[in-house]
Structure 1
Amino acid sequence: MSENVLFLVVDSLRYDAVAGDEFDTPNLDALAEDGVSFSRCFAQGISTAPSMTAILTGRYPLDYGGHWYLEEDQPTMAEQFQRNGYTTGAIHSNPNVSRLRNFDRGFDTFEENILPYDPDGLVDNAPDSLLRYANKAARILRRTPYLPAEKVNLSLAEWIGSTDDPWFLWTQYMDVHGPYLPGGDFGYRNKFRAERLWRKAAVNAPDEITPEEHDELWTNYGKEVEYLDREIGNFLDTLEERNELEETAVVVVGDHGDEFDEHGLYGHKNLPYDELTRVPLLIRFPDAAPTDQLETVDTVVRTIDILPTLLDLADADYSNEMADRLEGESLLPVIEGETPGYDVVLTEKEVRGEDYLRLGFRTDRWKYLYDGKTDEQHLYDLSDDPGETNDVTDQHPEIVEQFRERLNDRFEKIEETSEGVDVPDIDDHKGVEERLKALGYK
């Protein structure tokens, strides 16, 4: 079946921001009612680089050289659609999944708005000092450190209107990512206050956030979610007016969540607690799709399973390289009531600028976390403690030992798959550094 695929990734969208009643998200609610909502979907990364590597390759983030750069032999979701006759497009403004990191592989069109100042693509020839100052000035003048959803949607609609069917189109909405600006109010006064507060919470002094500042952060996060919901609804209305929606599979997923002091930090720099890993996953299938809709799936699933699900829906064949490296499983059988072939969800990350890893293993009952910086491990009994606040490592040494064996096996697999893989040491581009700084990464 050659239907179009619209893949909408929302950066930093946690599950309870959509599933609860606290924020008003009528368009995402309608999408869930018209399709399939996965209530227990967990990301394979706690930040964009590992999570999107997993989603776009169908493998775990740290295999085959890691998640900061896609090595040359790594097949991607876009390449698989491309080899099956799809026109492929990507339009986004996230510096962590840029062509500088090889994420443009397999896309016929790859429009990235990651450098505020990039004169005619001459970045590679510009002096670093000039580029750095130009981008710093542009970052100050630009009201958001990313392309807002309404502008992204204009580019998406233009691309769809000029592209023959079938097509695969991916974007990464950045509006929900900090700094949280109040509901699309991009005034400069709000911009500077939001950036200062975000850097205080996510980078410099999370322990000094006052109760009033905490409430402001959460309220503005919610307004960003509501703004994005409106823009997604407007875009889907545009597709429906063009008679494109009925022939298009629509997927909405968070790449990871954000923490709001549940475990002492803000943003997404902590261990893989559920606030960072549990994300909404909504799939509205085309009218001709051979699967049921109008239901919620409560089975534990992974974002790594999205790639084989969409390829299965398109009745696509895989390259040999993809088949060899694929870890994800199609969710179409799960929708029909079958049990997945895994009982543990893995989340992992190499910490930016460091050489240590953070990993988490989750089952229905247990959450095991490992912090490579300190070599500390934590165990939570989710049946009694879903908030992951009571470490029971000492009470269940046998469970800890089982997870420790899984951890050691994972280390061996990472080393085995990455042996001989040539991944260049890419320093962040000066212009990209400014964007990352604005987003709270530096």
Structure 2
Amino acid sequence: MTNVLFLVVDSLRYDAVADDEFDTPTLDELAEDGISFTRCFAQGISTAPSMTAMLTGRYPLDYGGHWYLEKEQPTMAEQFQRNGYTTGAIHSNPNVSRLRNFDRGFDTFEENIFPYDPDGVVENAPDKLLTFANKAARILRRTPYLPAEKVNRNLAEWITSTDDPWFLWTQYMDVHGPYLPGGDFGYRNKFRAERLWRKAAVNAPDEITPAEHEELWTNYRKEVEYLDQEIGDFLDQLDERGELEDTTVVVVGDHGDEFDEHGLYGHKNLPYDELTRVPLLIRFPDSAPVDQPTTLDTMVRTLDILPTLLDLADADYSYEMTERLEGESLLPVIDGASPDYDAIVTEKEVRGEDYLRIGFRTDRWKYLYDGKTDEQSLFDLAEDPGETDDVADQHPGTIERFRKRLNDRFEKIEETSEDVEVPDVDDDEGVEERLRALGYK
């Protein structure tokens, strides 16, 4: 059985890999040697819904939603575990922490979400003390996340100490704002990056100057290039140790980031393509029954990754996974088949609110629904790939068909979540401080 290295890059847009402006030799080589999906779309525009979809193979809002994985929800790690794999996760993203039940199915779940965590005392520390300690620790640290260099060191140590076969997931945070100028982790760069990120993504996006916009984009590019180099060094190390030969390597963005294409920065907008279209690269071992290299322009979904990897492993699914699985294996698509779906769904529940944002994308159309205002928009992607001209009034029949899809989706969310009990998760003060540092507050 092949090992699986599942590398998720937070906030990685598709054009960051496809555009020659970005120097990404490692990702280019993976695309040239493996399978490159040029039209892959995420099921969420932020981490919680997107990773829920990827790690469960279902839509984010079904079965209690994406802020917490309820106790009956099967996961990708559990399926690998039940099929004889050792499973590991090493990351520093507070949106997919054990506090939200994302550790399900992992033999090792190493999260670095607290700048300050005195050996588990965090759970019992007074809120004021915890908040102060984490603010102080965040000021002293040069990054608001664990940098790729340190993540890869931990990944390599885990692989070296683990018997085959294994499944290992990480979520790199380097490309997520605040954007530092690549691997230059000086304090001056950190504080400037944090101020600019909060202005752009939180406080005043309409006040970003052309020079500040250019700085944000330039630093985003440098972050992508830094991460590409670190992934390359990591894969080279695994290759030298003989660990890479029988390993499937997956690189995918959980969602993109917006740079004022539709008035905002970061990933708090509706599901426009700059937020939903992400790179998906899979390099299979030579022993896998896959014809590679191949570039595929078929529209696919990130929730299809789970059944693809389990299909490759000839895995036996649990009954619960079979009942809830929405994704489809991409192995037949690689062989030339078409997916069974004709529209891609992206959805989320807005943090701290009770409204939904949902998008449907076909080859020609993008339909967007904003639950905050109950407004709907329609874009003809053939004529308007930038999604700037709302043509809803010109196509009432098309709007009516998408509205029916939307109502069907509402019914499915309600039906699947009817008897599901999901607790209210009051995040630890340390996690709240981490989220504020990343621009979620």
With structure 1 as the length reference, what TM-score do the two structures score? 0.99
1:193 and 1:104 map into 2 onto residues whose CA distance is: 34
CA deviation vs aligned residue, 1:402-434 (integer Å, no higher than 9, x gap): 000000000000000000111000112100011
CA deviation vs aligned residue, 1:184-215 (integer Å, no higher than 9, x gap): 11100000000000000000000000000000
Q: Secondary structure at the match of 1:394?
A: helix
CA deviation vs aligned residue, 1:239-265 (integer Å, no higher than 9, x gap): 100111110000000000000000000
Partner residue, 2:169:
170
Partner residue, 2:145:
146
Shift of 1:127: 1.3
Q: 1:299 corresponds to which letter in structure 2?
A: T
Q: Secondary structure at the match of 1:194?
A: helix
Shift of 1:86: 0.1
Partner residue, 1:222:
221
2:258 and 2:402 map into 1 onto residues whose CA distance is: 25
Q: Is 1:373–2:372 an aligned residue pair?
A: yes
Q: Is 1:70–2:69 an aligned residue pair?
A: yes
1:145 and 1:100 map into 2 onto residues whose CA distance is: 19
Q: 1:380 corresponds to which letter in structure 2?
A: F
Q: 2:303 corresponds to which letter in structure 1?
A: I
Partner residue, 1:210:
209
With structure 2 as the length reference, what TM-score do the two structures score? 1.00
Q: 2:172 corresponds to which letter in structure 1?
A: Y
Structure 1, gaps ≥5 residues long? none
Shift of 1:146: 0.4
1:305 and 1:124 map into 2 onto residues whose CA distance is: 36
How do 1:423-442 and structure 2 match up within 5 A?
423-442=422-441
2:425 and 2:293 map into 1 onto residues whose CA distance is: 45
How do 1:32-431 and structure 2 match up within 5 A?
32-431=31-430
Q: Secondary structure at the match of 2:182?
A: helix
Shift of 1:287: 1.5
2:243 and 2:306 map into 1 onto residues whose CA distance is: 22
2:77 and 2:115 map into 1 onto residues whose CA distance is: 26
328-337 vs 128-137, which moves further: 128-137
Give identity over the alignment, percent: 85
Alpha carbons 2:116, 2:133 under 8 Å: kept: yes
2:40 and 2:357 map into 1 onto residues whose CA distance is: 20
Q: 2:121 corresponds to which letter in structure 1?
A: L
Q: Secondary structure at the match of 1:401?
A: helix
CA deviation vs aligned residue, 1:303-324 (integer Å, no higher than 9, x gap): 0100000000111010000000
1:129 and 1:196 map into 2 onto residues whose CA distance is: 24
Q: CA RMSD in A?
A: 0.4
Shift of 1:54: 0.2
Structure 1 stretches of 4+ moved >3 Å: none
Matched pairs, number: 441
Shift of 1:128: 1.4
CA deviation vs aligned residue, 1:105-127 (integer Å, no higher than 9, x gap): 00000000000111111211111
1:65 and 1:136 map into 2 onto residues whose CA distance is: 32
1:436 and 1:143 map into 2 onto residues whose CA distance is: 16
Structure 2, gaps ≥5 residues long? none
